[in-house]
Every structure is written in C-alpha cells, then in structure tokens.
Amino acid sequence: MPEDFPSADPPSAQFPTAGLQRLSPGDRVFGRFILIAELGRGAMGVVFSARDEVLGAEVALKFVPDFLRWNPSILAGLRDEVRQARTLSHPHIVRVYELHQDALSAAIAMEYVEGQSLREFRLARPGQILGPEEILPWLGGLADALDYAHREAGLIHRDLKPANILLTQTGAAKLSDFGLARRAADEVSQLSQWQPCGTLPFMSPQQLAGDPPSAADDIYALGATLYECLTGRPPFHSGYLPHQIESRSPDSIAGRRRSLGIKAPPVPRSWETAVAACLAKDPADRPASARALLEALEGRRVLPPPRSAGAPSARPSLRERLVGPPAGLARVVYAKAKAGV
C-alpha cells in the first residue's frame, strides 16, 4: 500500500520524530503486529505493512508522529476521526480498523491494498500523463465511493489527491485516508503556522479559507486530480499558490499541455468542460456529485454554464484576512484596482 506525504516537512527540531526512526521490519508492536516492510515516510508519519497475529491477516499501520502522539487532545481528535472512518463500508474505500497505542507509539490499522497509488501509476506512464481511456476504467468506482461517503455516511474526505487513490492489481481504485491525514495536517498548521504544501494544489478556495468542509471541496480536488493526470501538473503548481487558487482560472488542459511541450491526442471537449467545472471558484458551479461529473465526462450529461465565470471573488483574499486591507490613500487605490477602475 504505497503512501505519499506532503513534500515539505516542518522543522525537525520543532517536531521530533525520533520514535518513528526506531521502527524496522521484524519489530513486534502493540503486542500483536509484526512489521513487514516500510511503505512510506514523511512529515505526517510512517506507514508499514504488518502481520496481525490475532487475525492472521496483513494490514497497513500508519504511525502517528511523536509530536502528535504525546498531545492528548490531538490524539483524542484523531480517535474521533478513526471512529467516523470505521463507519465507511464500501468496496472502493480502504477500510479503517482501529487506533492502537502503547507507551511508545500510536498507529492506525487499516486495510492493506496491494498495488500502487495513482501518482505512482501516472509517473510510470510514457510522458507521465494519462489519457481518458486510462482513467475511465477506475473512475466509476471512485465516483461511487465519494457519493456514498457524501450522501450516505455524511463524511468529506478533505485530502483527495493522487497519492490517496490506490489502484489495485486488478485496476480498481480505492480511496484512502478519509479525514485522517487532514486531521494531522490541520494540527501541524495550528501548532506551527506552517501550511503543508503537499495538498495545497488540490485545495478548493473554500477549504483554503478555512470554511466548513463540504462535498464541493472533494469535487474540486477530484477535478484537480484529473487535471494532473491529464497534464502531469496540478492546476496551480508554481508561484504563490493561495492567490492563484482564490482568484485565477487555470489553463485549459490543451493549453497546459502545449506549455509543457506534451504531445498527446487531444482530450474530448466534454473532458475540458467537466474538469473546468470542477475547478470553478464558486462551489455552486461545480458538478453536484461525483456521479454527475462522470456522466459529463462520458458525454451523457450537459453541465450548466458557470454563473461566476470571470467574476472576481467578493470575499477578502488570504492576504487581506491575514494582514488586513491597505490604509488611507492606498486603500482607495487598492479598491479601484480590485474593482477594475
């Protein structure tokens, strides 16, 4: 079960992970698991495959970083997330079993998926991009999983990205880390005023602003994931990303491919339109569900035109929320510039 973590780590002196460094294959943990192999490591912890001697099955163990492990309130919040994730029962969602802890460490036990992440699959393809014909076979199951979580379970993923979509050896998709990685990343941000960049390119403007989670956030992230699959880059990938996410429209898929020198068959117009709709600034302009998106991609549904196309956001920008608007004459000039005068 390969794992990918945010690319930028918080300062190691501020967030020690010495306990995780001691883990190695063959170790026995929590009185029942034998570690088999390390699957991934990063700022949000380390993942091992392990043999559960009680159940006689192979599982994945995601170990919690030490700086979260020893904070009782954070661990209690993570335990609540695990309880919620355990209610999810769907063939295209990785099952979460339990949060284990002892005097040395804490880890989340979950279903072990033999395969690779969507990110790894894309990077191994020629040109490091995928065509629609390589996406559609697994997208239906992923859409069903998201709609089930949103409508039946009432849960939002909040960290949907290629690294959290696992492709099995049969080519089916399984969605992992429902709310779990996001909880840890939120705590890092609060403790250090550090924004984990690994998920920023897949965050909607509303999630970036700290608004309450909604299904529209996951639809945006799914659109950003498809955009990266088709172009090799997320919609915004360089420069000051928060400003771009809040106020700019990404290049078309065809335009991004041209700018990167990618030579590949053009994507259908329905794909350009549907992916752009997912990335709309206004949540009301995004497809109402993952199934609606799938039908639009397949040409079986026509999405309504966006109501906010080209309109600047009326909400304060991230910079305004952090430092406030300009004062005096600068405020007048700023207001005119923002209004286009």
- The CATH number of 18-111 is 3.30.200.20
d(CA 115, CA 104): 30
Q: CA-CA distance, 70 to 228, in Å (whole number)?
A: 37
Q: Which is higher by pLDDT, 84 or 186?
A: 84
In this predicted structure, what is the pLDDT of residue 129?
97
Q: One fold for both 18-111 and 115-175+199-319?
A: no
Q: Which of 64-68, 129-133, 147-151, 318-322 has the lowest mean pLDDT?
A: 318-322
CA distance 101 to 103: 7
Which residue ranges make up each domain of the chain? 18-111, 115-175+199-319
Mean pLDDT of 105-125: 95
Predicted pLDDT at 314: 46
Among the CATH numbers 3.40.50.10740, 3.30.360.10, 1.10.510.10, 3.40.50.1820, which is that of 115-175+199-319? Answer: 1.10.510.10
pLDDT above 90 for 137: yes
How far is residue 253's CA from residue 190's CA, in Å, rounded to a whole number? 35
Task: Report whether pLDDT(225) > 70.
Answer: yes
Q: Where are the beta strands (DSSP E) in 78-172?
A: 96-101, 106-111, 115-117, 165-168
Quick: pLDDT tens for 3-40: 443 433 333 334 444 456 688 999 999 999 999 999 98
195: left (phi over 0), alpha (psi -120 to 50) or beta: beta
Predicted confidence band of residue 199 (pLDDT cuts 50, 70, 90):
confident
Residue 127, pLDDT > 80, answer: yes
Q: Which is nearest to 199 in space by CA: 5, 69, 56, 40?
A: 5
Whether the per-residue pLDDT at 187 is higher than 80: the answer is: no
CB atoms under 10 Å from CB of 136, counted, come to: 12
- Give how far Cα 46 sits from Cα of 75, 95, 137, 204, Å: 16, 18, 30, 27
Looking at residue 262, the DSSP 8-state letter turns out to be: -
Is the per-residue pLDDT at 333 higher than 60?
no
- Alpha helices, H only, 5-149: 18-21, 66-69, 72-86, 118-123, 132-147
Report the C-alpha gap between 133 and 136 in whole angstroms.
6
pLDDT of 321 above 70: no
User: Quick one: average pLDDT of 117-122?
Assistant: 96
Tell me the C-alpha distance between 81 and 17, whole Å.
Answer: 22
**pLDDT score of 183:** 54
Q: What is the mean pLDDT of residues 288-307?
A: 90
d(CA 54, CA 32): 6
Distance CA 94, CA 85 (A): 9
Instruction: Give the list of residues 6+ apart from residue 305 with CB closer than 8 angstroms, or none.
Output: none
Question: What confidence category does residue 188 fall into, taking pLDDT thresholds of 50, 70 and 90?
Answer: low
Q: What pLDDT does 66 receive?
A: 79
d(CA 176, CA 108) in angstroms, rounded, equals: 12
The pLDDT of residue 190: 53
Catalytic center residues? 159
**Residue 312's pLDDT is what?**
42
The pTM of the full predicted model, rounded to 2 decimals, is 0.82
d(CA 14, CA 192): 8
Exposure pattern of 112-121 as b/e (b: 16+ CB <10 Å)? bbebbbbbeb
**Given the DSSP bridges, would you call strands 96-101 and 165-168 parallel, antiparallel or unpaired?**
unpaired
Q: Pseudo-torsion of CA 137, 204, 217, 7, nearest 10°?
A: 60
The residue that leads in pLDDT, 326 or 134, is 134
> pLDDT per residue over 52-101, tens digit each?
999 999 999 999 887 777 778 888 888 888 998 999 999 999 999 999 99
